[in-house]
Structure formats: structure tokens, C-alpha cells
Chain A
Amino acid sequence: MSIYVNQDTKLVVQGITGSTAKFHTKLMKEYGTNIVAGVTPGKEGETVEGVPVYNTVAEAVQETGANASVIYVPAGVAADAILEATESKIELVICITEHIPIGDMIRVKRYLEGKDTVLIGPNCPGVITPDQCKIGIMPGYIHKKGHIGVVSRSGTLTYEAVHQLSELGMGQSTAVGIGGDPVNGTSFIDVLKKFNEDSDTHGVIMIGEIGGTQEEEAAKWIKENMKKPVAGFISGVTAPPGKRMGHAGAIISGGKGTAEEKIKVMKAAGIAIADTPSTMGETLVSLMKNRRS
């Protein structure tokens, strides 16, 4: 098993004729992802890497039975792309696009309420179940099939954690990047719930960063519900308050969202915190050994 994506996932790529999308369509296909369609308005009839292009998501779904979508369109039209995929009953929408206006995401989040569609992102690296399905922009070669779940607000730190795990011989069940924006689709808790229920996941690495209180909420949930060992890392211990550190969501303001506070709450919830970003893998491995003995 795994979460969100597997060999049965049929993917449609929104914005497939853009250069980034083309490049990653090729890489995803090479990895073995079943890409059944692409969408770019006005380019129906073309193909990209052998994938047929449609004008609308609805047509793509009707013709190919696509059940997941990945979005590479520019920021100004990304909210519309999410809405279109949702309206076309796509089960899982993964939005890679960064710099989407927050006002757009507020409306998108409201629209998604009560709908069956799950949105991951925006501003995220995507989701990968090693050897089965890679959706997004992560480098495939660092992953290894196995039993550790990874969830993170940061794309590159997800790669870092996965790479460390693979080098230690620990494969991954699924790695999920939930994105670095203040308003996003899927939260830490949503992903942790899935990992908790997934028989193939035996332990989890959770990577947070300064800003907001998502990590604190997740820690509370873990304390009360999580049956599996969790190791964590929070980036931004040395970040100055009031400065936005790249991600729209990464800012300490009003004394809220500091790394110290997050680490304190996470430790209290029984999460093993890595001292440095290069010991995330080791920290989980030793936690799992201790639990067993």
C-alpha cells in the first residue's frame, strides 16, 4: 500500500505544453507514472511526449478516465486550473505552481469545502510513491521503495530527508510535499492520518518550518492519535522575526510561529527532533530502534 498515489493513478498534466511541464512530463513518464492526458486550452490535438493534449480537463477525464491532476500553469491562472480540475471531479489535484496570490487561494479553499477533491499544494514538489508513481518535480533517483512516510512544507528538505533515508537503506512508502504557502489544500494532519492508517508505513518524518501553527496542531494530533514513530525537523531556528523567508508562509510575526515554540510542542508530543537538517534520517532510525527494544 501507499497513500494518495500508486500504480493505478491516471494522471492529467495541466499546462502540459509549457517548458517546465514538458521537461517534467518526460521525467515522470520515464519514472513509470501513467500519464494519460495533458491540458492546454487551444492546443487540442497536439501531443507532448506521446501524451494527447485536450482543451479542457472535463474532456481529458471523459476520454481517458484520468483521476489525478498535476498543475504547472503560471501563478495568475493557477487558481482557475484548480477549480477546473475540481469541477471535473478529479480526486487528487497536485499544484506545483508557486507565487499564487493569497486572495485566490482563500477563494479556492472555500470552494473546495464539501467537495470530494483533495488538493495538495500549491507551491509544493508533489507526491511520490517510489517505484509506482511520481507526480511533481522531485528527482526520482534518490527514492527507494520502503516503509517510511515523509511529509514536509519544504520541497528541497523533502529531498534531503528522502536522500538520507535511502542512504541508510530505509525506503519510503510515500513522500508528500504539502507546500510553503499560508493557505494550502492538505495539512500535516491530513497526511499524518493517512500514514497512520497505511499498513505499509512504519514510521514518519515530518518537516516543518517557521510561520503559522500547523506544526503545533499536528503535534497535538500525533500525541493523541499516532500509532507510529515520528521524527521531525523545523527549519528557521536562526530566522529573524518579521522577515519573510522566501515561502509566503515562512514568517515569524506577532511572536507566533517561532521554531523554538514548534520544537517544544513537538518534543512534548513524543516526536524525536533532529538537531540538524542532515540528521533527519538517523533520528528516525534510532527512534525506531529504541521503540523496538
Chain B
Amino acid sequence: MNIHEYQGKELFRAYEIPVPRGQVAFSIDEAVSAAKELDSPVVVVKAQIHAGGRGKAGGVKIAKTTEEVRSFAKDLLGKTLVTHQTGEAGQVTQRLLVEEGVDIQKEYYAGLVLNRDTGRVSLMASKEGGMDIEDVAKSTPEKILYEEIDPLVGLTSFQGRRIAFGLGLGKKVVKQAVNLFQNLYKLYLETDASIIEINPLIITGEEKLIALDAKLNFDDNALYRQERIRSYRDESEEDPKELEAGKYDLSYIALDGNIGCMVNGAGLAMATMDIIKHYGGSPANFLDVGGSATTENVSNAFKILLSDENVNGVFVNIFGGIMKCDVIASGIVEALETVKMNVPLVVRLEGTNVDRGREILENSTAEVISAFSMDDGAQKIVEATKEFQ
């Protein structure tokens, strides 16, 4: 789960990681009064959306007067920002962070992320602050410093110092940096974060280390025990269909094709998208109904699929293991009793309770094109969709 920068900075404050003074604003008036309260010669107005690249897209403005704050707030609120992470549709700005300007002497990058090769968390840092770290990793990988964290002892002081000296920080700043890195790791651990990035991490003219940005992402699997993080959720930043699917424990991702897919298992769901493409079709979504879905969940999954206007064919591809074929079949039949299906439906069932599943479909009034394998099903749905158009 993603959160906003201002929420990330709230967490930073709680873990004694220095950030500029600032306040969130939902309206122009709130932005102006926040600026007045800051009483700073320079104020930064930052659009809050769940995507990087806001600066380049015109989402960050520097104001020297209250009038400027008012006019920037007016410009930004309601504005759709298109960045390299939002996709073409962009994301509408609904919240602003109004922050004091700080005197930037040098910019760095610091981040914590899981290293999948070792199964441990790594602290990463670089002198190339403010740049896209993925570009740095590609073009000059030697400029990124790493320390791998043993979960038994956590991030040690000497590791923090090694990074700080590696960045060439002055004596006065090294101590601040070690504290900051250790507090960051504490935050990572205690909130079940999956990524924390500070870009840029800056040094001021007074040799103070400050986190100027905060990008945090959290492990969805751990949200059940993270009440504070859950409260930060901003549903307006999420795809409405993905959100609806989440309510029924379905893993759904919208794509831009026209063949709706309902599959069990993430691997098979991806492979189903791949095989549809292979036969010249285009998948409208990724949908994994998982292993523990009930008839009701399956029925809702089906309704979500059909609510996508682009869908003009549906392919159900099930290989039951923990998922039972009869549950899927009943779910489809139940859904078809309430929503009208006027596009072709191809169903392939195999695995646990397959005979009962096939029987349920045969005894229903649903118009189903049966498929005998994944390959057969993919070809049938691609063909049926073409004819339908």
C-alpha cells in the first residue's frame, strides 16, 4: 500500500527523522493559512499524489508571498498530473503539502528495500540525490552504496558510519546520518514497510541533515496488524475496480484489452494473459480469485469483470487445487442470475471437484462455450470475441 508524502513525513517525525516544518491542505484557504502559520520567507507547495515524478510534471511550486501560495494552490488543486508513474490518464491532485523552504547545500539519496537474493533488507545510499535512483543504478551502479542488514542484530552503527563516510559526509553530519539510518530501519521494521526512500536527503547550510521527500510503501500482507498505516489509505488514488475486487479478497489489475479473464493462481492468471496475446487477443485484466474464494466472491469477481465496458468476451480458466471447481461453477451461475451476460463466455475447468463443476454448468441455463484445455480455451475466446465485434 502506498501513502502520501505528508503522511510519510508524519511517520518520519514520529521516528525522529528530521523533516521540514509543514502541513497538509485540502483547500486553497487551508493552504494559505498553513503558509501564514509557517511564517517562512520561502514556502514550497507540493501536490500530493501516489506517484513519483511530480516535480517534472509541474506539481511542485516555490512561493515567496502568501498571494503566490494562493495562486499555486488554486492551480494545483484539481489539476491532473501526468508523470512517468501515473500512466497517460494521470492522477488528480486533491491534497497539498505546504512546507517551509530549506537552504539546500547538497543532495543525497537514502533508501531501505528488500534484497530478494538474500532475503534481507538493504540500506542503499548515493551521492546522486534528486536523480531517479533506477537511472543511477543503470548508468553508474558504482555510485550506490549498500549495507545488508542481519535481522538478528539490525542495522549496526558501524554499518551506518560506513555508508556515511562512503558518501563523504563531514564529521558533524556522520553522527546525524547514523541516527537517521537507524531510525529509518526501526520505522521500516515496526510498520512492515516494503520500501522507504528519501530522495533527496539534504544537508543545509547549517550542516543539518533533513529528509526533503518521503516515499513509503507497505506490505499488504501485514496491514492487518498496522492500524496507523491502514488509516493512511487514500482510496481515491486507487482504481475503483481494483478497490472493489480487494473487498472480496480478489487480486485484480485492470489492463487495456477486451477479453476479461478469471483465473485461479497468480502464475496461471499471468500465463492466461500471455496465451491470449499469443493467439492475437488482448486481455482486459489480471484476475486471480485465489484459493479460498467462496461462491459469493466468485460471483462478485464475475460482476467486476463485466462492469468493464471494454470487455466483449470472458475466459474462465480454472485448474483447481485448493480452489474447488464446483465453487467456481456455482459462482458463475449465481452471477448470471443477476447480471445480464451478452458477450461470449468460454470456461475451462480442471482439477479438484471438476466433475461436479462441469455438471453444475451443464444443468444451468448459462450459455457457456466449454474448453478442454487452456490452449483450446484461449483460441475459442479470441475467435468468439472477434466474431462478436
Interface residues of A (CB under 8 A from B): 20, 24, 27, 75-76, 96, 98-107, 109-110, 125, 136-139, 142, 152-157, 159-160, 163, 180, 182-183, 207, 209-214, 217, 233, 235-240, 242-243, 245-250, 254-255, 275-279
Contacts and interface: CB of A to CB of B under 8 A. Distances in A.
A254 B137 contact: yes
Contact of B119 (A106, A137, A156, A254): A106
B278 A159 contact: no
20 contacts: A20-B322, A104-B222, A105-B119, A110-B120, A139-B354, A157-B265, A160-B319, A163-B350, A207-B267, A211-B116, A235-B267, A235-B268, A235-B274, A238-B270, A238-B273, A240-B255, A248-B219, A250-B270, A277-B274, A278-B375
B375 A209 contact: no
Contacts of B150: 110
B274 A236 contact: yes
A238 to B, nearest CB: 5
B117 A102 contact: no
Given A236-B274, A276-B378, 6 more contacts: A106-B120, A238-B270, A247-B267, A248-B221, A276-B375, A277-B374
Interface string B259-288: 000011111111111110110000100101
Nearest to B252: A246
Contact of B266 (A27, A180, A276): A180
Contacts of B321: 125, 136-139, 155-156, 159
B269 A245 contact: yes
Contacts of B192: 101-103
Contact of A277 (B134, B151, B222, B275): B275
Interface residues of B, number: 58
A156 B68 CA distance: 58
Interface in B164-218: 189, 192, 194
Nearest to A153: B267
Given A103-B192, A138-B321, A142-B351, A277 B119 contact: no
Given A160-B374, A247-B267, A239 B275 contact: no
B373 interface: yes
B134 A255 contact: yes
A183 B194 CA distance: 12
A236 B271 CA distance: 6
B310 interface: no
B274 to A, nearest CB: 5
Interface of B: 85, 114, 116-117, 119-121, 134, 137-138, 150-152, 189, 192, 194, 219-222, 224-225, 251, 253, 255, 263-275, 277-278, 283, 286, 288, 290-292, 319-322, 350-352, 354, 373-375, 378
A153 B291 CA distance: 15
Nearest to A242: B85
B271 to A, nearest CB: 4
A160 B116 contact: no
A164 B267 CA distance: 16
Q: Which of B271, B278, B288 has the most CB of A within 10 A?
A: B271
Nearest to B85: A242
Given A137-B322, A245-B286, A157 B138 contact: no
Q: Which of B189, B268, B283 has the most CB of A within 10 A?
A: B268
A208 to B, nearest CB: 9
A156 B264 contact: yes
Nearest to A278: B375
A9 to B, nearest CB: 20
Contacts of A24: 322
Contacts of A105: 119
B291 A137 contact: yes
Nearest to B189: A103
Contacts of A136: 321
A233 B272 CA distance: 13
Q: Which of A212, A242, A254 has the most CB of B within 10 A?
A: A254
Nearest to B352: A139
A236 B268 contact: no
A96 to B, nearest CB: 8
A190 B39 CA distance: 61
A272 B40 CA distance: 64
Contacts of B224: 76
B322 A238 contact: no
A191 B134 CA distance: 32
Contacts of A247: 266-267
Nearest to B134: A254
Contacts of A212: 116-117
Contact of B271 (A20, A99, A235, A254): A235
B267 A278 contact: no
A97 B378 CA distance: 30
A101 B221 contact: yes
A52 B272 CA distance: 42
A217 B189 CA distance: 28
A246 B134 contact: no
Contacts of A160: 268, 271, 319, 374
A220 B116 CA distance: 17
A110 B116 contact: no
Contact of A110 (B134, B151, B322, B354): B151
Contacts of B253: 240, 243, 245
A238 B265 contact: no
Contacts of B251: 245-246
B273 A239 contact: yes
Contacts of A278: 275, 373-375, 378
